[in-house]
Amino acid sequence: MAENRYYQLLGISEDIKYPNYYQLLGLDFRFKDEAEIQDAFKSQMKRLQHIKSSKHKGFIEFLKGELKDARRTLADANKRAQYDKDLVADRLEEFKRLIEPVLSSGHLTFKTIETLCKHGVRLGFTVNDATEFISRQATELGVKLVDPTPAPAAGTINVQLNANEEDVKAVLLARKRQESMARGSKRRSESETRSERGRGQDRSQGNRKRRGESESEGGRPRGSGGPSSRTLSRQQRWKAQEQKRVQARAIAEYNRAILASKAAMARHNELRSYFPPVNRSKKITEQINGKHYSEVFEQEIRSFRESKEQFELCCKLLEKVGDSRSKRTLEIAEAHVREIESYLHQGNELKRRLHGQPTQRDEIRLWMKFVRATRSRALTSRLQLTDPT
């Protein structure tokens, strides 16, 4: 699995793959004292300066530049206000892209809303804000919120309502209590079943002893322990089927990552048409067909980030399967993750250098260096799906 260098070098949570300025400095979004910025900046810089290994030398220099940018932006009230506005807009857009495919089904379950809320919290929203945003989007699209419980037993909840008719958070809490009670009941039932099965086995063994059953010499006694060949065969078949399902899902995630990589590479090729010599000019072409070059650049970075997440999910799934083909696919996926990380690093380095307000000539040179960088064609090769059955 690809390592999280932000976590290793700055102690940022492993769940955060692309930290913002607040997360880089370890600050809360609502901090008020500007002295906290300086203290946080010094603390993080000291962590980097104490690292003696040359393994991450280039990335450490990049992080130092990012920390300086974070301090400069958050210390200025106007820059911070604009950054906060952009940050909220980006998070809302990312959250919207995440929930739109789910809402397209036309209905939501409480379990789905709870899962979406967890993703919202990872993006920096509170539970209430995430729930409110999901409810608002569901209302706009006319999505129904339904409880999938097939038959309402006594004391349980079974509700059908529009997303804006009740407090979703209160319903979720009630749903959690209901599921907790159901799990407790299931555990008690399983415990009673095991106890009854054990008593039945004891009676059976006692009957065999009383009959004095035995077989001819050299034969296998009927009462000998261990699972039968039929049981072992059933377990082996189930395990093989489960591995096939996991492998099929992993390859599906791999192919989704390939599609995202193709989209990113298409944007990279499109970006070249804005700059010399492809645009047949000595200057940067600001817009083509109403689309600014910075928008194309952000689309490329966003697609590569999506591809990296899909490859990482593929790696997690393949780690559960032990056959040779899965190991080979795992190695390829991990290599793709490292490749994409280098592309994202190039993009971050470009943004950092452009943030320093270079001259027009230097700006053209920086952009040309980025657009001329090649992208591996291995990121466009899909894998054949296996039969999950």
Share of the chain above pLDDT 90, in %: 7
Per residue in 300-342, pLDDT (tens digit) is 999 999 999 989 999 988 888 877 888 888 889 988 999 899 8
DSSP structural state of residue 221: P
Residues 280-285: contacts with CB under 8 Å, at least 24 apart = 283/364, 284/363, 284/364, 284/367
Which residues neighbour 314 within 8 Å (Cβ) at sequence distance 6 or greater?
250, 251, 253, 254, 257, 329, 333
Residue 165: the pLDDT is 39
Residue 230: the pLDDT is 57
Query: Which of 74-78, 127-131, 251-255, 343-347 shows the lowest per-residue confidence on average (mean pLDDT)?
Result: 127-131
**Bond into 101 cis (ω within 30):** no
Tokens 């000019």 — which residue? 281
